[in-house]
Amino acid sequence: MSTQSGITASEAVVSECTSFLRSPTRRALILKIDTVTLSIKVQESVQCSDFSTDLKQLTENLTCDECCYILLRHDAEKHAFISYVPDNASVRSKMLYASTKNTLLQELGSGLFDPILFINSPEELSPQSWNKIMGSGNVKALSESEESLQAVKDHQLYVTSNPRRLANDSNNTLSFPLDDQLHDAVGGLANEVLITAVIDNERLVLAEKSCVPVDGIVEAIGNFHSPAYHLYNYQERKTFILTCPSGSKVRERMLYASNKQGFLNSLKSQGLEFTNVVEVGDASELETSEITGAPVEDANKPLGLRFAKPKGPRRR
């Protein structure tokens, strides 16, 4: 099952794209996702001249770390839809573009584009590479799920190949630096204090720090409707909780799950060790006994007095 980012093209963007598709004098249109407003914007337009020259001009507008969509006129009445996702782009950006592509294609009309391509290097749009693509007769675009999977693989490769981005623990796999506020907050995890951390803009940041009695922990954690890490101290019994509420996007679940141990190792390097680690979906699945360490009553154990089974009728 594919996931959708919820990002859609505005009427102005759709109108601009429609105008481009009808114009014989425009070669390419570059669209980008604004990661702040989470909206699609028209970034650049390339006019028609010689196809090889136009491709060169197009690639000059591509960077090694920013994703984009490209609408490319490659024949008089034919257009290609290209997802450009460079290896050095952020994991969040890769996943945003992968999960927005199908929606954008539906809004523009997927039948208007052939081929639909996925590339990760400007060199793949050189005249020589383009001729190979079109001459092979076997153009295969990555599906949305394949692009998301590729983004996750890139994330794993990025983690193992960029040790300077990791927290200072040789065994962890945390790819996001801790925000200063979060770093300071975890140093003061007092009794019945709840700290919630989330991944935001390639950083692990403090979402909330508050005093919460143990009987209110489920309600407090339930206020977060996206995946999050929660740190709670109950009478020096420290609990680390990862929640992934119903409706969370698959890519978010995978991102938090893959960084859980790295975060734990980073906290351990700061002298913070946990009595237990809990993973739940919705907050309602959390048992307070897991936090307090209180024994769980056996559901099969008889409770109080029970009525004896009545005897059946005598045989005659």
Place of tokens 């994330």: 155
145-196 confidence digits (pLDDT tens): 455 555 555 554 444 444 333 333 333 567 778 888 998 898 878 999 999 9
What letter represents residue 93's amino acid? S
Residue 176 contacts residue 183 (beta carbons within 8 Å): no
pTM (predicted TM-score) = 0.48
pLDDT above 80 for 3: no
Percentage of the chain beyond pLDDT 70 is: 80
The pLDDT value recorded for residue 259 is: 87
Report domain extents, the chain: 11-135, 180-292
Query: What is the Cα–Cα distance from 22 to 190, expressed in whole angstroms?
Result: 64
Banded model confidence at residue 140, pLDDT cuts 50, 70, 90? very low
In this model, does residue 282 exceed pLDDT 80?
Answer: yes
For domain 180-292, give the CATH number: 3.40.20.10
For the domain bounded by 11-135, which CATH number is listed? 3.40.20.10
Which amino acid is located at 1 in the chain? Answer: M
Instruction: Tell me, yes or no, if the two domains 11-135 and 180-292 fold the same way.
Output: yes
The span from the CA of 146 to the CA of 164, in Å, is: 29
Strand ranges (DSSP E) for the chain? 26-34, 39-47, 68-73, 79-84, 113-119, 193-200, 203-211, 228-234, 237-243, 276-280
Higher pLDDT, 59 or 139: 59
pLDDT at 138 over 50: no
Per DSSP, the three-state class of 202 is coil
Residue of 296 and 44 predicted with greater confidence: 44
Please report the DSSP string for 267-294 in residue order: HHHTT---SEEEEESSGGG--HHHHH-P
Q: pLDDT (tens digit, 9 = 90+) per residue, 66-103? A: 999 999 999 878 899 999 998 888 888 888 898 899 89
